[in-house]
C-alpha cells in the first residue's frame, strides 16, 4: 500500500490531490472526472499562492497549512518539501473524518512520500559536441519506420 | 493556553496515575487546552479520541440509549477516559494502569460541570 492509499484509509479523506505549486497533478484519489481534477488543482494552487502573498505582506514565513470548514465537508490544503521540490496537497474530508485526523495522518503521509521519492536525477550540462549526436538520435527515433 | 482551562486540567492531573489531561474539540479532533507529560502526543490523542467519541456516539444513537456520559478505554499499559463537555468539546484523561478509574471519572465530570 502506497503512502497515498494509506493516508486515505487512515484519515478517511474523500478527495485528495497531490500537485506542484503550478497546479500540475501528480496523484489523485476520489475524483471521477478529469476536468474536476484540473479545476481543483488549479484552484488549490491559487489558494496557496494567494495565502503565500498574504504571508509575505505580514512578513511571515509561508503558511504551512490551511483549513476551510463547511457544513458537510472540510478542505485542507498544505504544502511540503520533497526531494523533487515543493509539493501541495489538497484534501477534502467529510463528517466521517475530522481536521485533527487529516492533520495527524498527513504528517505520516509526507514522511512516507518523501522517503519513497526518488532522488533527483543529476542534470548533465548540454555540451555542443553531444548536442548534434543526441539530436540525430532523437530524430532517428522519432521518424523510425 | 487559557488560564481557566489550565486550572481545570490541573484538578484532573492531580489524580494519582493520570499522565495527562486535555480539552478537545471533538468534531474537529483538535486540542483546545492540554496538560500532558512529555512523550504524549496530545494532537494525536485529540484527533483519535475525537474520532472514537463520534463513532461511540453514533453507536449509542443507533441503540437509542442516549448520549454517552463516560468513555473508558482500558489498555495493557493504561487507560483513556473521556467525558463530554459543553460546546461539542470532550474532556480527556490519559492514565497509567494504577489509576483509580472511579476517582478519575468523578474528577472529569466535576471539571465538565465547571466548564458548563
pLDDT tens-digit series, residues A47-56: 999 999 999 9
Residues sharing a CB contact under 8 Å with residue B31, sequence separation 6 or more, in sequence order: B22, B23, B24, B42, B43, B46
pLDDT of A96-118, one tens digit each?
Answer: 899 999 999 999 999 999 888 87
| Contact residues, A window 87-106, toward B, CB-based 8 Å cutoff | 97-101, 103-104
Residue A80 pLDDT: 93
Rounded to whole angstroms, how far apart are CA atoms B3 and B22? 13
Q: Is B51 on the interface with A (CB under 8 A)?
A: yes
Quickly tell me which residue has 478519575 as its cell: B104
> Rounded distance, CA A106 to CA B113, Å?
35
How many angstroms separate the CA atoms of B21 and A42, rounded?
Answer: 42
> Could you read off the pLDDT of B34-85 as tens digits, one per residue?
999 999 999 999 999 999 999 999 999 999 988 899 999 999 999 999 999 9
| A127 three-class SS | coil
pTM of the model: 0.81
B57 touches chain A (CB under 8 A): no
Three cell numbers, residue A123: 542534470
Number of structural domains chain B divides into = 1
Confidence of residue A141 (pLDDT cuts 50, 70, 90): confident
pLDDT at B51: 94
Which residues, 6 or more positions from A68, have their beta carbon under 8 angstroms from its beta carbon? Answer: A74, A75, A77
- 8 Å CB contact between A45 and A22: yes
A28 close to A18: Cβ distance less than 8 angstroms = yes
Q: Which domain holds residue B50?
A: 3-115
pLDDT for position A13: 94
In this prediction, residue B1 has a pLDDT band, given cuts at 50, 70 and 90, of very low
pLDDT value at B2 more than 70: no
Pick the CATH number of A3-142 from 3.40.1110.10, 3.30.70.260, 3.30.450.30, 3.40.190.10: 3.30.450.30
Q: What is the pLDDT of residue A61?
A: 85
Which letter does DSSP use for residue A59 in this model?
A: T
**What pLDDT, on the 0 to 100 scale, is given for residue A108?**
93
Q: Which pLDDT belongs to residue A127?
A: 72
Question: pLDDT per residue over B10-19, tens digit each?
Answer: 999 999 999 9
CA–CA dist A1, A112 (Å, integer): 11
Q: What is the structure's pLDDT at B48? A: 94
Residue A134 is predicted with a pLDDT of 82
Position A33 scores a pLDDT of 83
B59 close to A (CB below 8 A): no
Q: Is the ipTM of this complex over 0.85?
A: no
CATH of the domain at B24: 3.30.450.30
Distance from CA of B90 to the nearest CA of A (A): 14
Mean model confidence pLDDT for chain A: 88
* A140 phi-psi bin (left φ>0, alpha ψ -120 to 50, beta other): alpha
CA distances from A9 to A106, A109, A112, B21, B44 (A): 12, 11, 14, 28, 16
Q: Which residues of A touch B59 (CB under 8 A)?
A: none
3-class secondary-structure state, position A66: strand
Alpha-carbon distance of B19 to A123, in angstroms, equals 53
Average pLDDT value for residue range A60-65: 84
What is the least distance, in Å, from the CA of B88 to any CA of chain A? 13
Phi first, then psi: give them for residue A18, nearest 5 degrees: -115, 130
What's the Cα-to-Cα distance from A113 to each of A67, A80, A116, rounded to whole Å? 21, 10, 5
Residue A64 pLDDT > 90: no
Amino acid at each position: 500500500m502506497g503512502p497515498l492509499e494509506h493516508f486515505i484509509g487512515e484519515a478517511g479523506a474523500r478527495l485528495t490531490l497531490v500537485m506542484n505549486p503550478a497546479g500540475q497533478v501528480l496523484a489523485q484519489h476520489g475524483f471521477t472526472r478529469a476536468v474536476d481534477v484540473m479545476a481543483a488543482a488549479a484552484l488549490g494552487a491559487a489558494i496557496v499562492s494567494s495565502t503565500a502573498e498574504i504571508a509575505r505582506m505580514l512578513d511571515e514565513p509561508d503558511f504551512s497549512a490551511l483549513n476551510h470548514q463547511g457544513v458537510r465537508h472540510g478542505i485542507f490544503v498544505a504544502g511540503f518539501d520533497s526531494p523533487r521540490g515543493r509539493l501541495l496537497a489538497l484534501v477534502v474530508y467529510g463528517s466521517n473524518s475530522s481536521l485533527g485526523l487529516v492533520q495527524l495522518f498527513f504528517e505520516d503521509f509526507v514522511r512516507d512520500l518523501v522517503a519513497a521519492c526518488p532522488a533527483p536525477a543529476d542534470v548533465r550540462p548540454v555540451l555542443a559536441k553531444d548536442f548534434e549526436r543526441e539530436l540525430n538520435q532523437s530524430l532517428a527515433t522519432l521518424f523510425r519506420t | 493556553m487559557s488560564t481557566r482551562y489550565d486550572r481545570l486540567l490541573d484538578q484532573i492531573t492531580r489524580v494519582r496515575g493520570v499522565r495527562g489531561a486535555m480539552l478537545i474539540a471533538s468534531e474537529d479532533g483538535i486540542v483546545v487546552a492540554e496538560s500532558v507529560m512529555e512523550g504524549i502526543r496530545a494532537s494525536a490523542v485529540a484527533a483519535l479520541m475525537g474520532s472514537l467519541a463520534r463513532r461511540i456516539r453514533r453507536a449509542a444513537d443507533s441503540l437509542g440509549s442516549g448520549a454517552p456520559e463516560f468513555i473508558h478505554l482500558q489498555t495493557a499499559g493504561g487507560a483513556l477516559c473521556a467525558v463530554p463537555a459543553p460546546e461539542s468539546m470532550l474532556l480527556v484523561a490519559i492514565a497509567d494502569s494504577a489509576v483509580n478509574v472511579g476517582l478519575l471519572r468523578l474528577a472529569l465530570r466535576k471539571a465538565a460541570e465547571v466548564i458548563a
